[in-house]
Amino acid sequence: MDSAWFQHCPGILVVTSQEGAISGFNPEAERVLGAERVRGGSLFESVHPDHRDAVASSWATMNEGDAWSALCQMRDVEGIYRSFSLHARRAPGRAEVYVTIVPTPRVSSGRLAVPPAEDLTLLPAASPERVLRGILDNVDISVYVIDQQGDYVVHDGKGCRAGGFEPGTLIGQNLFEIFGGDVGSMTDIRRAFAGEVVHATSEALDVLWESWFLPIRNEAGDVTHMLGLTLAKSDVKKAMVDLRTKMDLIERQEEVIRNLETPVIQVWEKVLTLPMMGVVDSKRVARVMDDLLSAVVRTSARFAILDMTGVDMVDTATASHLFSLIRAIRLLGAEGIVTGIRPTVAQTAVTLGLDLSSVTTCANLREGLRLCIRRMSEENRVRRSEMGQ
CATH class of 262-386: alpha beta
Q: Helix, strand or coil for residue 252?
A: helix
User: What gap in Å lies between CA 117 and CA 101, rounded to an integer?
Assistant: 20
> Is the predicted pLDDT of residue 280 greater than 70, yes or no?
no
How is residue 79 annotated by DSSP?
A: S
DSSP 3-state of 64:
coil
Is pTM beyond 0.95 here?
Answer: no
Contacts of 244 (CB under 8 A, 6+ apart): none
Question: What is the CA 384 to chain-centroid distance, rounded?
Answer: 72
Between 203 and 119, the more confident residue is: 203
CATH for the stretch 4-104: 3.30.450.20
Q: What type of residue is 92?
A: P
Q: How many helices (H) and strands (E) does the chain have?
A: 14, 17
Instruction: Confirm whether 4-104 and 139-236 share one CATH topology.
Output: yes
Winning range, highest mean pLDDT, from 103-112, 255-264, 294-303, 354-363? 294-303
Contact, 136 vs 156, CB < 8 A? yes
Question: Span 356-373, mean pLDDT?
Answer: 88
* Domain spans, the chain: 4-104, 139-236, 262-386
157: part of which helix (H) or strand (E)?
A: none
Whole-number pLDDT of residue 137: 83
Contact 38, 30 (CB under 8 A): yes
What single-letter amino acid sits at 35?
A: A
Least confident of 51-55, 78-82, 195-199, 312-316: 312-316
d(CA 114, CA 112): 6
Domain boundaries 139-236, corresponding CATH code? 3.30.450.20
**Percent of the chain predicted with pLDDT > 70:** 83
pLDDT given for residue 113 in this prediction? 47
Show contacts of 257-266: CB within 8 Å, 24+ apart: 258/287, 261/287, 262/287, 262/288, 262/291, 262/292, 264/291, 264/292, 264/295, 266/295, 266/299, 266/301
Give the pairing of strands 207-217 and 223-233: antiparallel
